[in-house]
Structure 1
Amino acid sequence: MILVTGGTGLVGSHLLYFLVKENERVRAIHRENSDITSVKKVFALYTSEVDSLFNKIEWFQASITDIPALSVAFRDISKVYHCAAIISFDPSKYKILKKINVEGTANIVNLCLTQDVEKLCYVSSVATLGSNIDDQLISEESPWNPDEKNNVYAITKYAAEMEVWRGSQEGLKVVIVNPGVILGSGPKDGGSGVIISLAANGIPFYPFGAMGIVDVQDVAKAMVQLMDSEIHNEQFILVGENITYKSLLSKLAKLFGNKPPTIKLSKRIMLFVSGMDWLINLIFKTERKIIKANVKSMFAISLYDSNKIKNAINFHYTSTQQTLERIVKEKRKN
Structure 2
Amino acid sequence: MVLVTGGTGLVGSHLLLQLTQNNISVRALYRSAEKLEIVKKIFGYYTNDVTSLFNKIDWILGDILDIPSLETAFENISQVYHCAAFISFDPSDFKTLERINREGTANIVNLCIATAVKKLCHVSTIGTIGRTTTSEVSTEETEWSRQHTNPYAITKYLAEMEVWRGAQEQLQIVIVNPGVILGPGFWESGSGTFFKTASKGYSYYPPGGSGFIAVGDVIKIMIELMNTDIKSERFILVADNLTYKEILSEISIALGKKSPYLPLKIWQLHIGKLADHIRKMITGKTRTITNSTIHGLKHPTTFDNAKVKNALKFKFKSIEDEVNFSAKIFIEEHS
TM beyond 0.5: yes
- Identical-residue share of aligned pairs (%): 46
**Structure 1: segments with no counterpart, 5+ residues:** none
In structure 1, what is the equivalent of residue 54 of structure 2?
54
In structure 2, what is the equivalent of residue 290 of structure 1?
288
CA deviations 1:118-156 (Å, max 9, x no partner) are 00000000000111232111110011113x122110110
User: Does 1:160 find its partner at 2:154?
Assistant: no
Distance in 2 (CA, whole Å) between partners of 1:236 and 1:249 is 26
Deviation at 1:297, TM superposition (A): 3.2
Q: How does 1:228-247 map to 2 (within 5 A)?
A: 228-247=227-246
Q: Give the alignment's TM-score, normalised by structure 2.
A: 0.96
In structure 2, what is the equivalent of residue 31 of structure 1?
31
Partner SS state of residue 35, structure 1:
helix
User: Does 1:16 find its partner at 2:16?
Assistant: yes
User: Does 1:267 find its partner at 2:266?
Assistant: yes
Q: How does 1:36-185 map to 2 (within 5 A)?
A: 36-146=36-146, 148-185=147-184
Q: Is the 8 A contact 2:178 2:218 kept in 1?
A: yes
Deviates more, 1:225-234 or 1:249-258: 249-258
Deviation at 1:210, TM superposition (A): 1.6
Distance 1:188 1:84, change over 3 A: farther
Structure 1: 4+ residue segments shifted above 6 A:
none
Letter of the structure 2 residue corresponding to residue 63 of structure 1:
D
Give the aligned length. Answer: 332
Q: CA RMSD for the aligned pairs?
A: 1.4
Deviates more, 1:105-114 or 1:285-294: 285-294
Deviation at 1:271, TM superposition (A): 1.6
CA deviations 1:12-40 (Å, max 9, x no partner) are 00000010001000000111465212101
CA deviations 1:251-302 (Å, max 9, x no partner) are 12222222211111012221222123224433x3521343213344344312
Partner SS state of residue 316, structure 1:
coil
Distance in 1 (CA, whole Å) between partners of 2:190 and 2:296 is 13
Q: Is the 8 A contact 1:39 1:187 kept in 2?
A: no
Q: Is the 8 A contact 2:207 2:245 kept in 1?
A: yes
Distance in 2 (CA, whole Å) between partners of 1:33 and 1:18 is 21
Q: Is the 8 A contact 2:205 2:244 kept in 1?
A: yes
User: Does 1:250 find its partner at 2:249?
Assistant: yes
Distance 1:187 1:287, change over 3 A: closer
Q: Is the 8 A contact 2:183 2:192 kept in 1?
A: yes
Letter of the structure 2 residue corresponding to residue 44 of structure 1:
G
Q: Is the 8 A contact 1:4 1:83 kept in 2?
A: yes
Partner SS state of residue 101, structure 1:
helix
Partner SS state of residue 175, structure 1:
strand
Deviation at 1:190, TM superposition (A): 1.2
In structure 2, what is the equivalent of residue 218 of structure 1?
217
CA deviations 1:184-227 (Å, max 9, x no partner) are 01356311111111112211111120210000110011100100
Distance in 1 (CA, whole Å) between partners of 2:86 and 2:285 is 16
Distance in 1 (CA, whole Å) between partners of 2:318 and 2:283 is 43
Distance in 2 (CA, whole Å) between partners of 1:295 and 1:41 is 35
In structure 1, what is the equivalent of residue 203 of structure 2?
204
Letter of the structure 2 residue corresponding to residue 49 of structure 1:
D
Letter of the structure 2 residue corresponding to residue 233 of structure 1:
S
Q: Is the 8 A contact 2:172 2:231 kept in 1?
A: yes
**Structure 2: segments with no counterpart, 5+ residues:** none
Q: Is the 8 A contact 1:120 1:174 kept in 2?
A: yes
Q: Is the 8 A contact 1:2 1:77 kept in 2?
A: yes
Distance in 2 (CA, whole Å) between partners of 1:32 and 1:259 is 39
Letter of the structure 2 residue corresponding to residue 239 of structure 1:
V
